[in-house]
Each structure stands twice: as structure tokens, then as C-alpha cells.
Structure 1
Amino acid sequence: MKTLHLFLLAALAGTFSCNNPGNAGDSANSDSTAAQQPPAANDSGLLLVANKLDNTLFFINAETLELVDSTTTGNDPHEAVVTPDGRTAYTANMTGNSLSVIDMNTLEEVRRIDLSKYQQPHGLAITSDGKNLYVTTEGTQTVLEIDVAADSILRVFKSGQQGTHMAALSKDESTLYAPNLGSGTTTVIDLEAGEVIKTLATGEGTEGIDVSPDGKEIWITARSGSVAVVNAESNEIEATLPAAGLPIRVKFTPDGKQALVSCMQADEVIVFDVAERKPIKRIKTGAGPVGVLIRPDGEVAFVANTEGNNVSVIDMKTLEVSETIPAGDTPDGMAFR
């Protein structure tokens, strides 16, 4: 394993308020080569890494693993998401009570959406047409539906549960699932009916979630040491899998054959055989693995080590860590463009 030494290529972008978006052309890094020529949508693209205590978002070339650029965000960015057209990214700034809006052409924060009425935004999910963004807010036990074009809230769904943490859309995008960290439950929202239809008991410290590529299963981690397997058609728990070591996040491979579960206390990622619902390997990572993301080609996985301030790169053929790349202070959520 080797560590790549990365250097910033440009100064950090300035911050903007929602009322004063500012002029991206006036930013200190607007004339950088990286900002003018971001990777094309059909190449290996960019890995976005949210660094909570730095209040930054890193942009890393997902193939060369080199740092391309970075931008400032609101306070305490936990999760990130990119619109399907690749033009815009968002970070959920938990203690900043805001969303940062990032222009993916300039790789700069261009404005912030004020969510001070809805405290502690955290989880993010976006529809395939890029029109609606869903944001969980832990402080007010809600899921917000935001009109991306207008930066306005369309609907507010009350979970009635403590610590509404992450968000995931069903394959047909008719249902939203929101794990509740404090209550040990997962809220199921029928988006067409506009109401909560079920609350599943998914384990103490329910946190991470992912939907299988075929849309048939939802896997949900619980810090108490388990992964709940939910049938997407019936919204019932079919199985509960043991996962020792404080499981935090789960991510399916693009072919749906494997699922990776980060275990923060064990400093490991568990690789599950999805069909067999059994672990096939535990991979040592850096300190405090949390966010997990798999490159769209399925060849490489990235694990954000929040206590090690770096990202482990896993070769999905050998199931071994092949590289470790530096990140900012307490990296957490990640996204691809």
C-alpha cells in the first residue's frame, strides 16, 4: 500500500449566502486550469469528499487519485450528492443548518440554501430527473422535498422519530426510506400519496442505507451490529445479518453481487455476498471508516476514514486496499460526478 501526496492546485473558493450568490468569475480559483477543464462526464470522473471539520469539499480524480481542486462549504458538511446531469453538487451542512450549492463546472460553492427552520440537515437523495432533492433534518425529525430549480421546499414529511439521518429512494422513486439514528427505526414514505406509510424497527443506532441495483432489496445498517434486509415490494424485514464492529454505511456493487459495510470501531469493511447474505471477507482500512462509495465501473471502492483523515482505495478484484489518499479533517460523505 502506498500513500499519495496530494497538493491543492487552487485557492479555496469564497463562501456565499443564499441572498447573495456572488459572481463565480470573481473567485480566487476561477481561473485555475482544473476549474476551466473539469473531467468529461464519460471519463472516470470526480470523487467528491466532504470534510466535516475543515468545512470543505475535495474533488479527486477517481482514476489517477490526484486532488483536482477544493471548495469551502457551510459548517460541518456530512453528505454530498451530484445532480444526474453532473452540473451541480450539494452538501448537507449539519451544524451550519444549510445546503451548499456547488457549480461543478467551476468547482466552487456559489450559494447556500438556508435551512435554519429545519435543524441539522444530514442525508441527501435526488431524483433521476434532477428535479427534486430530498434532505433529512435530524433536529426537527423531518424529510424535506426541495425543488432544485427554485431552491424552495415543496413538501415536509414528519418522521416522528429521533435523528432522521439518511435518505434513499426506491428504484422507481415512488418511495423514500429514512433511517432514524436515535430511534433505531426506518421511516417509509409513499411519495405519491405524500405520507408516511410504515416505520420499521431496524436496530439500535440505525444509520446507513442502500437500495440494490435491481431495486428488490434495501439494506440498512444498525450500529448495534446488524444489517436489516428489507423487501422493497412488501416493505418488510426479510433477514437480519450480523455485522460486528459498529457498522455505519452500506453500498452495493453496480452488479448487485456484493455489498460493502463500513465498521467504524473495527476499522474494517465487511464484504457480503448478497445472494447468500453472508460475509466473504473483512478488509482492514484506515481509522474510523464511515462513507463508502464504489466507482461506477465497479473496479474500485472508496472508504472515507473519518479518524484517519484519509480515504482507503479498495481493488474490487483482489478485495485489498491498494492505495490510501489524504483527505481533509474528518472526511465522511462522498459522491461521484
Structure 2
Amino acid sequence: MKHHIRRRALAGVIALTSATVLIGCSSSEGPSASEDAAAIKDGAPPVGSPVEGTIWVANEEGGSLSAIDVATSRVVATVDGVDSPHNVQASPDGATVWAVSGHRNAVVALDAATLELVGTQATGAGPAHVVVSADGQRAYVTNAGDGTLTAYQTSDLASLGSVRLSNGPHGLRATADGTTLVVANTAAGGVDVVDAATLSVRASIPVGSSPVQVAVDGDGEFAYVSLAGENAVAKVDLDGLKVVATVAVPSAPVQLYLSEDGTTLLSADQGTETAPGRTLSVIDPSEMTVVASIETGAGPHGVVMDPTGAMAWVTNMYDDTVSVVDLRTKEIVATVPVGDKPNGISFSALSIPAASPTLAEVAVPDYAEADAGAEEGHEGSHDHG
């Protein structure tokens, strides 16, 4: 697949201090610029930060992916040409970056070092999220438009089959051993528990109103589910197949992230475009209580944590920014401008080996258009006998 790479200077970082400047908002329905106060710093990471790597961001309305250098909190690369990327996921080794193209019904794999297109493949209708198995051998995509989950072989993006799920599959996560996938079905009000090897549904569990994303503990015993319709997060017993606890959060939650040691659960409380939330809730998953609330930008949507649990990053959907959070102090230490309507976000331990910021453009086939053409042709053949 052809691609073109060129270089450009990119925006620096905006970070918080006691002085204030204005940050623009991407939507006229969102809060005014005067409500977004921050001060300019030099983009340096917090003192004592143990983290290096890259944060990948899916800018859904910008049709791009942004790569933020963890050490400097600066955008160091942008990939254009991925139409309507709702979600992005770095592979476990960080070498490949995966994304979905919602408008083109495509899953996309990029080389994280060169930003070259490794390959694409057709998905079902309306792909929502993509995850990669812990061994890096498989990728899984939820297709919200046709209620399915599709598995792919990561080596060549060959489809390994699909399974029909409950209505409106969206976010998903795998258990640590890779044997099970837990999928949030937004329209169905439940989660499906899927056997990853056979692509069969083991159980469907009612959880509440508008579940969006899940997090799964290391033992595969419990899943945590964001309930956007209830402004709450639920804890689900995967053996007992039932909700065992819930905790309220300030606004409609979207993405969740559980620390590797299982002691901290983060909830990005997005709210709505007309009433955006501004909170990252820090939850004790054992007690299901909110232990801290960290103010973010407008509409926190995606959230990810580094493996040490020291740092987190949050996409602010209505600010077009990413908040950098020091979880040790529970403070926002930097705010990074990215593309239009940032949604999904992923951490990679690998830094991009580039001497200067890079802009890449990739060409993704429109599988949605091809599917529509095939359906028209199929209907036409019936019309003619």
C-alpha cells in the first residue's frame, strides 16, 4: 500500500501551573474557552517519572492518529488517512499499532517505527474497538453495526472467523491468559463472555444501562463495566455471572483501565457534548469506592495507564487534548493538543526512533463502499431473474 511521509513542526505541550491561558474547544456545544485554564510549561515530564514510551491517540473526527512521546509530553508523529478511527491499540511488543476505520469498515495495522502501513482488512459494519492478544498472535474487532466480533491473525491480517454477539458490541478486553474476551454490548445492557479459541459465547450477563467498556482483573475473576446510562461503574463476577457491586461517578463514564496489580481502576467520565464531564475517577476495585477525583479537560473519553501504575493519559474529546496524569500525586502535569475529537488511547513502551516530528499519510481501502457495491450487484441479479 502506498504511503507518503513528510516532516513538519508540531505543537508543543500545554501544561498546568498557577497562571492561566485559554484552550479552545472543538465544539460550539462544549464549554467556553475561558473555562479551560492552563499555563505554558516547557513540556518536560514530571520530576522522577519512571516512564518512557509512546502514547497513541485515535482522533476520530480528525481522521488521524497522534503519537505522544512520554518523556517530553509532545506529539512527535501524526498519521493521516485513517478515516474515523474510534479506537487504537499498540501490540504488546509495541512494534505494531492497530486501529479501526469506522467509515471504511476496516482494521488497520501500522509499523510503529516507520509509520508505514503493514496491512488492512475488512471488518463487519461499524467497527468500534480493536484489541491484540497478550501473545501478539491475534487481533479482535467488535463490529457495532452488525453485532459481531471478528478475529484476525496478526501476521497477515487473515480473518479467523466471527461470532454473533448481543446488540451493540463496543469495548472489549481479554483475560490475562488470553482464553476469554469480555465484550460490552451498549444497546443490549449486558456483557458477553466469549471463548477466544472457539469464538463462541459462553455467557451473556445483564449489567445495566448502556455499558460501553470493560476492564478485567488478572485472575479473570471480575470484570468492571462503565454504565454510561447510569453514571456508574459495575463490578461483575465472571464465575457467578452477576453484578456484585456498583459505584457512582460524576458523569457518564466511557473507558475504564485497571492497573496491572489490580489495585486501581480509572474511569473516564465523559458526560455528553451538551453537558461534558471533567473528571477522571480513581476507584478502589476491591471496595468499589471512589478514592479520588482528578479534574481533566472537557469530555474525558479514553484512558490508559503505564505498567508501573505511576502515570495515566486521558483523551479529552471536547477539548482536542490529552491530559497527562501523575497518579502518585493525583495531579494533571501536562495537557497535550492533539487532533479533532480524540477517542481511543494506548500505551507502548517503545519510543518512536525519529530525529524529528513526522507526518505520515496512509491509504486505507473503503471496504464499506465495496460491500455496498456487492450488495447492489446481488440485488440486481435477483431483479433480473
TM-score range, shorter chain: 0.7 to 0.9
1:164 aligns with 2:164: no
Query: Deviation at 1:119?
Result: 0.5
Amino acid at match of 2:244: E
Aligned ranges 1:133-148 → 2 under 5 Å: 133-148=139-154
**What is the aligned counterpart of 1:247 among 246, 253, 259?**
253
Report the equivalent of 1:119. Answer: 125
Q: Is the 8 A contact 1:73 1:93 kept in 2?
A: no
**What is the aligned counterpart of 2:110 among 102, 107, 115?**
102
1:85 aligns with 2:93: yes
1:200 aligns with 2:225: no
Deviation string, structure 1 residues 216-265 (Cα, Å, up to 9, x no partner): 32101111222121223444322222224111111112332111111112
Report the equivalent of 2:39. Answer: none
1:238 aligns with 2:244: yes
1:178 aligns with 2:176: no
Q: Which runs of 5+ in 1 are unaligned?
A: 1-20, 33-41
Q: Which structure has the higher relative contact order (CA within 8 Å, separation 6+)?
A: 2
Deviation string, structure 1 residues 145-166 (Cα, Å, up to 9, x no partner): 111122111121100x222101
1:71 aligns with 2:79: yes
Amino acid at match of 2:270: M
Cα separation, 2, equivalents of 1:132 and 1:148: 5
Cα separation, 1, equivalents of 2:55 and 2:117: 16
Q: Is the 8 A contact 1:217 1:231 kept in 2?
A: yes
1:261 aligns with 2:267: yes
Report the equivalent of 1:28. Answer: 5
TM-score normalised over the length of structure 2: 0.74
SS at match of 2:184: strand
Report the equivalent of 2:325. Answer: 314
Q: Is the 8 A contact 1:71 1:109 kept in 2?
A: no
1:46 aligns with 2:54: yes
Cα separation, 1, equivalents of 2:60 and 2:117: 15
Q: Is the 8 A contact 1:50 1:57 kept in 2?
A: yes
Amino acid at match of 2:82: G
Amino acid at match of 2:97: A
Cα separation, 2, equivalents of 1:244 and 1:194: 36
Greater C-alpha radius of gyration: 2
Q: Which runs of 5+ in 2 are unaligned?
A: 10-49, 272-276, 349-385
SS at match of 2:145: helix
Report the equivalent of 2:292. Answer: 281
Aligned ranges 1:280-299 → 2 under 5 Å: 280-299=291-310
Deviation string, structure 1 residues 72-102 (Cα, Å, up to 9, x no partner): 1421101111222222111011122111221
TM-score normalised over the length of structure 1: 0.84
